[in-house]
Chains A and B, each alone.
Chain A
């Protein structure tokens, strides 16, 4: 790579972009340390009280555990469904494989509000609204396209002779998959896991349709909290969530390289 002098204009533009992207953080982080009882920027006094307040708010903690369990279950199911689906699409190449993979990605192209409305109408008939199973099913609609996409790409780029070599050495088809194919898909698997987890954990629009007084997810609980009382608790919670997201991204980057996992 040859180093080229970067013009001042380009530097300025990059700086502007960073400020624009990071602006929410610049506002949220100071507010999270606010001593006021409502959100105001800049805060008139400083305090750490809003952080412990999160953990005594029953609605928030129960919503957090719901979201965490939900994201975990959704991620596991996405992998369990997405992996065989991707394998079938890429390796077994059934008739109409391309049409099917387009169909599986279609939910990504629809506005989530439309999906949410459709799911609301169908689920209300079967009593799935405001249930954990209902939330899992709704989230799978948006995580599965990601899972199938990323895993199919990971599979398609694997050289087939490597698997054939394992077979000639005496490995049964299942052993080939377990000992050769899966380990070689490592970065795709980690990417899928991180992606599904974050998509489910962050999901607001679909969850808004699906939650109720009985069950709520963290983003929905935060939304309702802000609607009712504008105290800085939500800002403190946001900072914690940013840190959690950052941790996930860091783990992905350390284990398999962020660029390698997502930019393909």
Chain B
């Protein structure tokens, strides 16, 4: 059923099907997107992740042609689209608000893009049927968007964008208006369809779980600038900036001072970037910290500090201790196995972690 679509959307996999070159959007003196360089290979699902106002949606809208770029180029499949108007860009866009045509039936919504492309009547009927089946809405063809639930409406929007076999599928926070359960369901569904069709897609989200679980690559943005591009594993295991470390996954960020590439915290030395001096942040993930009662046999670890339990939070599967170490709080998360002693606030403990789990960043001025 989807073979036809797959055949059209698939092509030579390779580097840089979509290239953004120095893409910039300025509003007066304010740079909403600042010199964005990015290569998206064919068939990948790439997330634009960041807090609101980081420029991720503006970037997406520039790719779609809904916002003119101040400078920079947008190239798709070797063709420069920077000056091409939206309706000739051949992209599919799925909006957070669904943006279905309220005066048209589901089938007519889906058919719209094909009508614009002057596709023959019989072929429109066949492809609309396929696309509606692809998003599991067969039988709802004659419904109006107003008669459908939020999740169903978003499926129609997805079918409407996919049926034209766009060169790129753009998704602008498509799950934000859905409730939690539906969100999980749609997450898997979008990922399945994207993989099955082999379509190149950009997924804008502020939700790190969506970005990490769905996407091949994640582009982390902050204040209009690109912070890091990488696979979900890259971002989590080797965050390159303090912002990425803080935004992706949970982390302890400890204030310390470095001198000549060595940071000091609670009597321990941490390797920082060669020659780095001044205020720094030491980052370590809460579940990568091992904890033992003071005086007990210490578990293996490259770094060791001691502290006092300030707070104990038992959450069933996770046991969290907030430990006061030299006046700063280090959170420790332990997976519960059953039968462990729960330490009470005031208990003296020692913490340890491996060298590769620590990152030291120059503190933002």
With contacts A168-B92, A170-B164 taken as known, whether A186 is within 8 angstroms of B87 at the C-beta atoms is no
Does A162 touch B at the CB level, under 8 Å? Answer: yes
B93 contact from A159, A165, A175, Cβ within 8 A: A165
A-facing residues in B105-134 (Cβ within 8 Å): 112-113, 116-117
Are B91 and A184 in contact (CB-based, < 8 A)? no
Which of these, B90, B116, B157, contacts A175 with CB under 8 Å? B116
Asked whether B11 is an interface residue with its Cβ less than 8 Å from the other chain, the reply is no
How far apart sit A176 and B65, CA to CA, in the bound complex (Å)? Answer: 15
- Check if B160 is an interface residue, CB within 8 A of chain A: yes
A159 and B85 CA atoms in complex are apart in Å by 20
Name the distance in Å between A171's Cβ and chain B's nearest Cβ.
5
Given contacts A159-B97, A170-B113, A183 and B103 within 8 Å (CB-CB) = yes
Contacts of A9 in B (CB 8 A): none
| Residue B64 is within 8 A (CB to CB) of chain A in the complex | yes
- Whether B100 is near chain A, meaning CB under 8 Å from some CB there, is yes
Min CB gap B259→A, angstroms: 53
What is the distance, in angstroms, from B84's C-beta to the closest C-beta of chain A?
A: 12
- Is B101 interfacial (CB 8 A cutoff)? yes
Which residue of the partner chain, among A164, A170, A173, A183, contacts B116 with CB atoms under 8 Å?
Answer: A170
Q: Which chain B residue lies CB-closest to A176?
A: B87
- Give the docked Cα–Cα distance between A183 and B65 (Å): 24
A165 near B99 (CB under 8 angstroms)?
yes
Find chain A residues with CB under 8 A from B86 CB: 164, 167-168
Known: A159-B97, A161-B95, A164-B66. A172 touches B87 (CB 8 A): yes
Question: Given contacts A161-B97, A164-B93, are A169 and B112 in contact (CB under 8 A)?
Answer: yes
CB-nearest residue of chain A to B86: A167
Interface residues of B in 163-204 (CB under 8 A from A): 164, 170
- CB A163 to nearest CB in B, in angstroms, measures 9
Q: Is B287 an interface residue (CB 8 A)?
A: no
Instruction: Enumerate chain B residues within 8 angstroms of A186, measured Cβ to Cβ.
Output: 103
What is the predominant secondary structure among interface residues of chain A facing chain B? helix
A167 contact set on B, CB distance < 8 A: 65-66, 85-87
A168 touches which of B87, B97, B117 (Cβ 8 Å)? B87
- Is B140 at the interface (CB under 8 A from chain A)? no
For chain A, the bracket of interface size reads: 20 to 34
Please give, as numbers and ranges, the residues of chain B lying within 8 Å of A171 by CB-CB distance: 87, 112, 116
A166 near B112: Cβ-Cβ < 8 Å: yes
**What B residues does A159 contact at CB under 8 A?**
97, 99
A180 CB–B CB distance under 8 Å: yes
In the complex formed, the residue of A with least CB distance to B89 is: A168
Per-residue B-contact encoding for A18-45, CB less than 8 Å = 1, 0 else = 0000000000000000000000000000
Q: Are A184 and B102 in contact (CB-based, < 8 A)?
A: yes
Chain B residue nearest to A162 in the complex (CB): B99
Establish whether residues B87 and A170, one from each chain, have CB atoms under 8 Å apart when the complex forms: yes
Interface residues of B in 48-84 (CB under 8 A from A): 64-66
Within 8 A of B (CB), among A174-213: 175-176, 179-180, 183-184, 186
B103 touches A168 (CB 8 A): no
Q: B223-256, CB under 8 A of A: which get 1 and which 0?
A: 0000000000000000000000000000000000
Q: Which of B85, B100, B113 contacts A162 (CB 8 A)?
A: B100
Determine the chain A residues whose CB is within 8 A of the CB of B85 once the complex forms. 167
Are A169 and B103 in touch, CB under 8 angstroms?
no
Contacts of B95 in A (CB 8 A): 161, 164-165
B308-322 contacts to A, CB under 8 A, are none
Bound Cα distance A164, B100 (Å): 10
In angstroms, Cα B66 to Cα A13, docked, is 56
Closest to A169 in B: B113
Contacts of B64 in A (CB 8 A): 164, 168
Bound-state Cα–Cα, A164 to B116, Å: 14
Are A169 and B99 in contact, CB atoms less than 8 angstroms apart? no
- Cα distance A162–B160 in the bound complex, in angstroms: 12
Least Cβ–Cβ distance between A135 and chain B, in angstroms: 36
> CB-CB < 8 A to B66: which residues of A?
164, 167-168
Best-surrounded residue of B88, B99, B164 (most CB of chain A within 10 A): B99
Given the complex of chains A and B, what is the CA–CA distance between A162 and B153 in angstroms? Answer: 13
Q: Is the CB of A161 within 8 A of B87?
A: no
Instruction: Give the docked Cα–Cα distance between A183 and B112 (Å).
Output: 14
Knowing A164-B66, A175-B116, the reply to whether A170 touches B90 (Cβ < 8 A) is yes
| A184, B100: Cα distance in complex, Å | 12
Compute how far the CA of A167 lies from the CA of B103 in the bound complex, rounded to whole angstroms.
Answer: 17
Residue from B91, B101, B161 within 8 A of A180 (CB atoms)? B101
User: Chain B contacts of A169 at CB under 8 A?
Assistant: 87, 92, 112-113, 116, 160-161, 164
Q: Are A164 and B99 in contact (CB under 8 A)?
A: yes
| A44→B269 CA distance, assembly (Å) | 114
The chain B residue with its CB closest to the CB of A161 is B99
A residues less than 8 Å from B90 (CB atoms): 170
Residues on A with C-beta less than 8 A from B93 are: 164-165, 168
Given A165-B100, A167-B85, 14 more A-B residue pairs with CB atoms under 8 Å apart are A161-B97, A161-B99, A162-B100, A162-B102, A164-B64, A165-B99, A167-B66, A168-B64, A168-B87, A168-B161, A168-B170, A169-B87, A170-B113, A175-B87
Q: Return 28 A-B CB contacts under 8 Å, by A number.
A: A159-B97, A162-B101, A162-B102, A164-B66, A164-B86, A164-B95, A165-B99, A165-B101, A166-B101, A167-B65, A167-B66, A167-B85, A167-B86, A168-B66, A168-B86, A168-B92, A169-B112, A169-B116, A169-B160, A170-B88, A170-B116, A170-B117, A170-B164, A171-B112, A171-B116, A173-B87, A184-B102, A186-B103
Q: Which 3 A-B pairs have the closest CB atoms?
A: A170-B116, A169-B113, A161-B99
